Amino acid sequence: MTKLIAFLFIFIVTVGFAVAQDSLQTNISVHDPVMVKQDGTYLLFATGRGISFWSSKDMENWKREDPVFSSPPTWAVKAVPGFKGHIWAPDISFHNGLYYLYYSISTFGKNRSCIGLATNKTLQTDSKDYLWTDHGKVIESVPGRDEWNAIDPNFILDENQKPWLAFGSFWNGLKLVKLADDAKSISTDPQQWFTIASVPRSTTDPSAGNGAIEAPFTFKKKDFYYLFASYDYCCKGINSTYKMRVGRSEKLSGPYKDKEGALMTKGGGTLLLQGNADWHGVGHNAVCSFDGKDYLIFHGYDAKDKGRSKLRVEELSWDEIGWPLLK
């Protein structure tokens, strides 16, 4: 009887461990990823229905968590015709004792878009304090009024610890706007807006530029603010041409210049990474610091898997004059 009990105990533990292991996935399919770390756990948010949410202990084996929203935000359905709950390009930051999750409400190819905000005390789903509070719309773009698109948000604090939001996709480029101190609305004291990057369009010479720029991510490193952006086309599987470029500025508001001194508002940007035989395109990156190391978090279109979008995590280093490099 003792041996039987011992056998049953080992069997139950083994099966339970196997089930737990089966719930973990590697090479996960994500789009527009961003990551943060809390209490030894990496939390990943990405484009998806209700905002895709994953957790991991090692940045390699991932567990899918319940999405942030179980149903589309009512305000968003009313604000953007055609929106049905597929939320784009979230951005996660810890600010004022809360996790701030900005997210994009839009439909493909249109600039009738909004950036919303949800907050949470914790990202540990088993905590009694785990609860998302949606604060609704922060920024919106309206066709015919705005020549910019209110998607792809990225939160950053300036040298005075004041909050700003970078955002934008196509149209006339990437924008930066100052937020109110609680980071839940645009500052009105006074409003401050900047264009920080763009790709000029040409109606006569398509090779001169097509406006294909999006996904700003700002990162402070020593004396500079770095602006990472994605150029050319995402979301086309094997035909994706996405690539990442970077510039830097001593001021958050710019001007951002590349290694050669070209302005990012004039189409400049030093190439950081582009597609190759293994990846059809790479882009929509975040830059995160964990345990003294910097990482580039992004998605690529896997050439070995019919162009499916996959998570990629690469350690980021910096050259002797402060420009980012991939190891």
The CATH number assigned to the domain holding 45 equals: 2.115.10.20
Report the domain count for the chain: 1
Contact 265, 247 (CB under 8 A): no
- Active-site hit among 91, 152, 214, 302: 214
Which residues, in sequence order, are CB contacts of 114 under 8 Å at separation 6+? 76, 79, 80, 104, 105, 106, 137, 138, 139, 140, 141, 150
- pLDDT, one tens digit per residue, over 161-198 is 999 999 999 889 999 999 999 999 999 988 999 999 99
Is residue 128 a part of any domain in this protein? yes
Is residue 13 a part of any domain in this protein? no
Which residue stretches of the chain are H helix? 2-22, 74-79
pLDDT at 201: 73
Is residue 216 a part of any domain in this protein? yes
Is residue 18 a part of any domain in this protein? no
- pLDDT, one tens digit per residue, over 7-39 is 444 344 444 434 444 468 888 999 999 999 999
Assess whether 214 carries a catalytic annotation: yes
Is residue 7 a part of any domain in this protein? no
For residue 175 the two structure tokens come to 């924008």
Query: What are the respective helix, strand and coil percentages of the chain, to the nearest 5?
Result: 10, 45, 40
Give backbone dihedrals phi and psi of 212, rounded to 5 degrees, phi first.
-80, 85
Domain that holds residue 40: 29-326
Contact 280, 2 (CB under 8 A): no
Q: Cα 149 from chain centroid?
A: 16
pLDDT at 209: 52
Instruction: With a cut of 90, say whether residue 200 has pLDDT above it.
Output: no
Is residue 9 a part of any domain in this protein? no
Is residue 172 a part of any domain in this protein? yes
pTM: predicted TM-score of the whole model, two decimal places: 0.91
* Bridge partner list, 46: 52
Contact 139, 131 (CB under 8 A): no
Is residue 5 a part of any domain in this protein? no
